[in-house]
A = this chain, B = another copy of it.
Amino acid sequence: MRDLLGGKGAGLAEMTRLKLPVPPGFTITTVACNAFSKIGKFPLGLKSQIAAALAKVEAKAKRRLGDPKKPLLVSVRSGAKFSMPGMMDTVLNIGLNDEVVGSLATLWKNERFAWDAYRRLLQMFGRIVRDIDPHRFESVLDRWKAKTAGGKDTDLNAAMLRSIVDEFKGVYAKEGKRFPQDPRVQLEEAIGAVFRSWNGKRAVDYRNFHKIPHDLGTAANVQTMVFGNLGDDSGTGVVFTRNPATGEKALYGEYLANAQGEDVVAGIRTPLKVAQLKGNMPKIYRELGAHAKRLEKHYRDLQDIEFTIERGRLWILQTRAGKRTARAAVKVAVDMAAEKLISREEAVKRVEPAQVIQLLMPRFDEAAKTLAHKEGRYLAKGLNASPGAATGTVVFDPDEAQRMGRDEKKPVILVRVETSPDDVHGMLWSKGILTTRGGATSHASVVARGLGLPCIVGAESIRVDYDDGTFSVGEMLVRHGDPISIDGTTGEVFVGRIPTIEPDFTREKELLAILSWADKFRRLEVWANADYPRDAVRARAFGAQGVGLCRTEHMFFEEDRLPIVQRMILAASDRERQDALDELLPIQRADFEGIFEAMGELPVVIRLIDPPLHEFLPKYEDLLVESTELRITGKDPARRAEVDRLLKAVVAMREQNPMLGLRGCRLGIMVPGVTEMQVRAIFEAASRLKKAGGDPHPEIMIPLVGHVNELKVERGKLERVVREVMQEQGVTIDYKFGTMIEVPRGAITADEIAEHAEFFSFGTNDLTQMTFGYSRDDAEGKFLMAYVERGILPVNPFQVLDRAGVGALMRMAVERGRKTRPDLKVGICGEHGGDPESIAFCHEIGLKYVSCSPFRVPVARIAAAHAALKEKSGPKGTD
């Protein structure tokens, strides 16, 4: 009944029903609040209903509101369907007035307590119900506190508090406002104020931000006050039914004797561990343990319980699902399933994909990080592009990073203004990446996430000076070779080393259990993108069921191959080009052999060359500057001739918009021999494996197809070469031929394209670029982040798939493609394949698999299970 009673009210009612010691009270429903919002006053009958409910509470508590002998004090707290922490109002200690305050002192034999409670009521009521500037009360309080020795609230004695009460009344008078001495009036006005707070600016903004409907309304909970600050037999605390950090099954929490909830928050005294209650108040401890167990069993989840001990009597004030770390979430879910408290299905649902990511990243030792802050080693903050922690020496040059990382086995952090495909060889061998430019989908971010490397981008306060080999933030200077530490989870950069803790997937027993359960529930297969054999090995370890994308061009960028690739590109004749291709063939073949070997009988989708060829040549700008320099200085004529030759070639190949230029299958069609060489390498590799007893399943994927004829042409070439190789090798390879769907026209004409494709794989990175008309390299920095900030776009569509636009094209492609070829296999290999929300969409539109970076495979396994379970339990996703 959370709709009607709000979260808090429902919890209180539930606990009351369970006969837990809940202070008597009642809840006024959200319906009343909505009526109040509409007509601006209490709806007819509400006052008498309040009176009736109060009478019952009074009977139960055996005290009466405003009774000078046995006064009842109550609180009025808001409580909506969805938690909106701190957004709405609460009034405590209702029921006190000039008369009752004395009897309260008598009742509890504590005058200071009574006057303190009264001044709190005056203060809260003034601020919340009478809308008096809170500073007016605080300045009075501050003046009095200044007179005491300690200077704190607790140093104020009863007499002082009595004077403060007088002065608070003066504040009311000066404001021309009145504090009602009638407790019933206090109560009604407090309820009205709580209702009004639903439409307060803070609450409205919060709901807008969190997309909570504005017509839900809040409930108002009226509850008997209990006090933990009535002596050493009193106290207050918070207890978790299990350890929220580790998930360990044992009561975990803190309490303060002789204190109120606010005192715990204020941190005046160090609270004690709940376990210490066992010795101090064994009966209470046992009782608390029993209630905790009861509540956990009832709610079938780790509970976060607030309690108060009032003169030796335990009261439970609130219970809710406890927040927990990723580690705890997984352990609690697995343990509870083992305890039969929840089903395995429920256990899987309880683990968020984001928690899985956290668990798989190296992290800093928290204490060491805190120390680093204290020591002034904090340097800068950037965008947390890829989570995890890393420590290493600063290197600016990718070649050096490769040398140090690969050959010298030294941990390095690659620091760049930004990265490009030329830098990948260095990134591969770094422990972490730090750039001063770029956004969440910049090259550095994408590659780092793909590699599972911690990465911080756009750390704009850092100035890199490549020439000096230094970088600086204000006065702090870091030199090449100095150690730094980066926390990709938070975006923080530190000077010096901070110890990290490395996760070991195979030892994460509970996580492995959850994932294996998830595998049973999901319909989507989870494949991985892997360009190198070691990626494939890793992908399998993480549970990948295939390789969804092997980008062959990454192989071209490696140091020993680049010169051959450049010769191929700059070839003056078909002959020269073919010579270079012939040289590349055995290298590519060896790469593919490694991947097939790693993946065994699982399918491996290999995409033929995709990027524009000028990416493999020296940069135009560098050549232009060097050519100008050599021209003016007249030095080194041989080099000048070479530079001018290269410059001429680069100029001829340059494009205004390389993203929309000669790349993808257009390359295969326009540059003779490339497709043939790649296909030959793949099938020769597969043949070798097959002959050695393996069972490779290559799937050849043509990128950037926009017209069926492109696919037809490439398919023709492929089939010829495949026949040749199979004949030469005398083996039969079971293979598939398909295409990426990454050009809008490809999606729109999917029915035609499916005639020549056995599978589709959505390249949602490019599809997003073209559907929105956003160049990924440019948009984020120039306007995309601003769009997201200003709410023009709900999210960055390169991170979370845009359902209305890109998603609509995907849905269309699936439907049209399957119309032509009902058994068409459809997957996704864009970065969205590792994003939980996007995975849910892929499930909805009926894809066969998602393919993501190896490190995301466990995340995708959980997300895919969630999507399937959501479909099973809830209504279908919106269309």
Interface set of A (CB-CB < 8 Å, partner B): 621, 624-625, 628-629, 632-633, 655-662, 666, 669-670, 704, 706-707, 709-710, 713, 742-745, 748-749, 752, 766, 769-775, 777-779, 782-783, 786-787, 790-793, 802, 804-806, 808-809
Contact = CB atoms under 8 A, between A and B. Distances in A.
Q: Which 7 A-B pairs have the closest CB atoms?
A: A660-B775, A657-B775, A745-B805, A656-B777, A661-B778, A655-B778, A628-B628
B777 A657 contact: yes
A650 to B, nearest CB: 12
Contacts of A659: 656-657, 660, 773, 775
Contact of A657 (B657, B742, B743, B790): B657
Nearest to A709: B792
15 contacts: A624-B625, A625-B628, A628-B632, A632-B632, A655-B775, A657-B658, A657-B660, A660-B660, A662-B779, A666-B782, A706-B774, A742-B773, A745-B773, A748-B805, A770-B770
B743 A660 contact: no
Contact of A655 (B629, B661, B782, B792): B782
A742 B772 CA distance: 10
A660 B774 contact: yes
A809 B662 contact: no
A771 to B, nearest CB: 5
Nearest to A654: B778
A805 B749 contact: yes
Nearest to A802: B745
A309 B629 CA distance: 82
Contacts of A706: 771-774, 805
A658 B660 contact: no
Nearest to A664: B773
A786 B670 contact: yes
B782 A670 contact: yes
Contacts of A625: 624, 628
A115 to B, nearest CB: 55
Identify which of A707, A777, A793 gathers the most chain B CB atoms within 10 Å of its CB: A707
Given A657-B658, A749-B805, 7 more contacts: A628-B632, A657-B660, A661-B779, A706-B772, A706-B773, A744-B809, A745-B802
A678 B628 CA distance: 41
A755 to B, nearest CB: 13
Contacts of A790: 713
A706 B779 CA distance: 13
A629 B624 CA distance: 11
A835 to B, nearest CB: 19
A661 B659 CA distance: 11
Contacts of A779: 660-662
A445 to B, nearest CB: 15
Contact of A773 (B656, B749, B770, B804): B770
Copies in the complex: 2
Contacts of A628: 624-625, 628-629, 632
B782 A749 contact: no
A768 to B, nearest CB: 9
B656 A791 contact: no
Contact of A809 (B632, B660, B748, B777): B748
Nearest to A745: B805
B778 A657 contact: yes
Given A666-B783, A792-B669, A805-B748, A655 B777 contact: yes
A564 B626 CA distance: 34
Nearest to A805: B745
A201 B794 CA distance: 60
Contacts of A809: 744, 748
A590 to B, nearest CB: 31
Given A624-B624, A658-B656, A745 B771 contact: yes
Contacts of A669: 783, 786-787, 792
A39 B24 CA distance: 101
Given A624-B624, A766-B773, A805-B745, A793 B709 contact: yes
Contact of A772 (B629, B670, B743, B783): B743
A710 B792 contact: yes
Contacts of A707: 772, 792-793, 805
A748 B804 contact: yes
A151 B841 CA distance: 83
B662 A782 contact: yes
Contacts of A778: 655-658, 660-662
A233 B779 CA distance: 83
Contacts of A783: 662, 666, 669-670
A706 B744 CA distance: 14
A748 B661 contact: no
A465 to B, nearest CB: 16
A388 to B, nearest CB: 28
Contacts of A713: 790, 792
A675 B422 CA distance: 40
Contact of A749 (B632, B670, B752, B804): B804
Nearest to A713: B792
A752 to B, nearest CB: 7
B670 A752 contact: no
Given A628-B628, A669-B783, A805-B749, A704 B661 contact: no
Contacts of A742: 773
A775 B629 contact: no
Given A666-B783, A783-B666, A792-B713, A775 B805 contact: no
Contacts of A657: 656-660, 775, 777-778
Contacts of A666: 782-783
A668 to B, nearest CB: 11
Contacts of A655: 775, 777-778, 782
A714 to B, nearest CB: 10
A786 B662 CA distance: 12
A508 B224 CA distance: 98
Contacts of A658: 656-657, 775, 778
Contacts of A773: 659-660, 704, 706, 742-745, 766, 770
A783 to B, nearest CB: 5
A791 B710 CA distance: 10
Contacts of A782: 655, 661-662, 666, 670
Nearest to A624: B624
